[in-house]
Amino acid sequence: MDTVQKEHERLLKKLKGSEGIQNVQSTIDLLQSARDTIASDPTQASITMAKLQNPVKSSFDSINDSLKESHSSLNKYSKALDKFFKDRPLPSTEHDALSSQEHMINRAIAMHLLRQGQFSVAATFLSELAETKSRNSQQTTEYNPTNDATSLLDIDEAPSDQVRKQFVKMYYILHELKENKNLLPAIEWARENRDALETRGSNLEFELCRLQFVWLFNCEQYPGAPLSAGRQAALEYAKREFHVFLPRYMREVQQLIGAMAFCPNLQSSPYRNIFNNPTAWNDVSLSFTREFCSLMGLSADSPLYIATTAGAIALPTLLKLQTIMKAKRTEWTTQNELPVEIPLPPSYLFHSIFVCPVSKEQATDQNPPMMMPCGHVIAEESLKRLCKGSRFKCPYCPNESHPREARKIFM
């Protein structure tokens, strides 16, 4: 990369100092002065013209020289690029499994734009999609009327208006939360979805209300107001709102109310973490986003982002594999599974993964993990191979059991 950068700097410098145009200008000047001489004194015509030959020629030569120079610096930069990308060819484009599923990629992009809150880009994109589609379906009707039905079928491929509205709402709530420190829209949303959130075991509503309490307590709304005013407001808020939380969050509510007693010197009290937590707002907006997306069945971070990033991380390994396979002329035999392990950062691992310790194969629906009574787990196929229908010893402990006793487990 350094060489590329250096060569490019050199190229830029050359470009800035390029004399090509100056040389052209000097040719023009030569011609112009000759013209002036002849115009003022026609008798000088032939001699001026004769004198003009060599200078003009040499100025053309110097134009060419400066061109040659910029050519050589272009070439050097070319070479630097070639060298830099030599071991990094673009991945082969032989089989593109995705190009047939363009509409689903477009859908994912539209969703990503909505998730990022880029509503106007998303709107443009969707309308351009619709335009192309209507154009295409017109064409198909012209050429082949029978195809029309299929193009109408997948009308749902674009994210529905419903989803868009949800995201607009989410961004409105987040905006209020982050920019205006206004928790009320978020609390209202959490209240509307209380049942769903509760079954998920989410604390969101309480967390929001607690933050609201802290916010009132600290009097962030009216800086400079007396402390007691904030305390009063917080207390009233607690009286009004906290009773719904009592069964679940008894302890936390007690903490909040207990903190009142420490009011003047809260900073030295055991409660200071609750009342002075610089990341609280950020945390709460993150958990809000996660809950909001989860209720729509979506992951909190854009899948498109995670997948492309994982792809970029995986590509060097896959490329190496491709080169090796080409060199050894082998094909990869496990069609459903990548032939190499791709190390990703831990945050890119989501599901639990079970690899059978006997067969070293990953468990699938067809070959699920089975737990023997001793608590050890192997894949079903390994189990069948080991037991041959009768009692057998666990490969990992002295325990013997019948295959009937093994139970399918879900990771």
Partner 1 sequence: MAAELTSTKLNAENHLLLDQPLLRLPHELARRNFKSVQRVVEREKENVLPALKDAANNSLSGSHTPDQTLAALDAMLSRMQGLKRKMENLQGEERKVQDQSKKRIQYLESLHQIPSLVDVKYDEWSRTRLDRLMVDHMLRSGYSESAKQLAQEKGIEDLVDINVFVQCQRIADSLRHGETKEALQWCGENKAGLKKSQYNLEFELRLQQYIEMIRIGDKKKLIEAMLHAKKYLTPYMETQSTEISHAAGLLAFPRDTKAEPYRAMYSSVRWTHLAELFVRTHHELLSLPSRPLLHIALSAGLSALKTPSCHSEYTSSRSNSLSTTTSVCPICSTELNELARNMPYAHHTKSYIESDPIVLPNGRVYGQERLLNMNKNVGCIEAGTIKDPTTGEVFEEGDMKRVYIM
Tell which positions 77-96 bind partner 1, by CB under 8 A.
77-78, 81, 85, 88, 90-91, 93, 96
Per rule CB under 8 A, is residue 107 in the interface with partner 1? yes
> Tokens 């023997």 sit at which residue?
372
155 binds partner 1, rule: CB under 8 A: no
Q: 268: number of CA atoms within 13 Å, CB side?
A: 2
262 vs 348 by CB, closer to partner 1: 348
Which of 10, 19, 20, 387 touches partner 1 by CB under 8 A? 20
Binding to partner 1 by residue 172, rule CB under 8 A? no
Token reading at 381: 């196929």
Q: Does 385 bind partner 1 (CB under 8 A)?
A: no
- Choices 68-76, 210-218, 224-232, 234-242 (CB under 8 A): range interacting with partner 1: 68-76
Place of tokens 């971070």: 301
Question: Which of 235, 260, 263, 300 touches partner 1 by CB under 8 A?
Answer: 300
Q: For partner 1, which stretch binds (CB under 8 A), given 148-156, 168-176, 186-194, 369-377? A: 369-377
Q: Which residue type sits at 50? A: A
Instruction: Tokens for 359, please give them.
Output: 């067969």
Q: Which CB atom, from 224 or from 343, has the smaller least distance to partner 1?
A: 343
How many alpha carbons fall within 13 Å on the CB side of residue 326?
A: 9
In the 8-state DSSP scheme, what is residue 373? T
Q: How far is the CB of 199 from partner 1 (least distance, A)?
A: 7
Please list every residue from 194 through 223 that binds partner 1, using CB under 8 A: 198-203
Among 3, 76, 109, 140, binds partner 1 (CB under 8 A): 109
In whole angstroms, give the CA distance from residue 234 to residue 60: 85
Distance CA 148, CA 207 (A): 52
Examine residue 284 and tell whether it contacts partner 1 (CB under 8 A).
Answer: no
Task: Return the residue of 15, 227, 261, 325 that touches partner 1, per CB under 8 A.
Answer: 15
- For residues 406 and 383, the answer to whether their CB atoms sit within 8 Å is yes
Is 246 a binding residue for partner 1 by CB under 8 A? The answer is no
CB atoms within 10 A of CB 45: 13
Residue 248 contacts partner 1 per CB under 8 A: yes
Q: Does position 260 bind partner 1 by CB under 8 A?
A: no
Query: In Å, what is the CA distance from 186 to each residue of 11, 221, 222, 298, 300?
Result: 55, 18, 21, 19, 17
